[in-house]
Amino acid sequence: MHIWKNFTGVSTLTKLLHPDAKVIAVEPEGAACLKASVKAGRVVTLPAVSTIADGTAVKTPGEKIFPYLKDNVDEIITVPDEDLVAAFLDMVENHKMIVENSGLLTVAALKQLDCENKKIVCILSGGNMDVITMSSVVQQGLIQRDRIFTVSVLLPDKPGELQKVAGIIAGENGNVIKLEHNQFVSTNRNAAVELRITLEAFGTEHKDRILATLEKTGYKPRIVRTTL
What is the per-residue pLDDT across 75-114, written as a single tens digit (0 to 9) for each?
A: 899 999 999 999 999 999 898 989 999 999 989 999 898 8
What is the spatial distance between Cα 136 and Cα 150, in angstroms, rounded to a whole number?
A: 17
Q: Residues 176-203: what's their mean pLDDT?
A: 83
Let me know: does 177 contact 199? Beta carbons within 8 Å: yes
* C-alpha distances in Å from residue 14, one per residue of 71, 112, 115, 150, 185: 12, 22, 20, 49, 63
Let me know: does 33 contact 61? Beta carbons within 8 Å: yes
- The CA angle 134-138-139, to the nearest 5 degrees, is 115
* C-alpha distances in Å from residue 218, one per residue of 2, 162, 185, 214: 55, 14, 19, 7
pLDDT digits (tens, 9 = 90+) for 39-51: 999 999 999 999 9
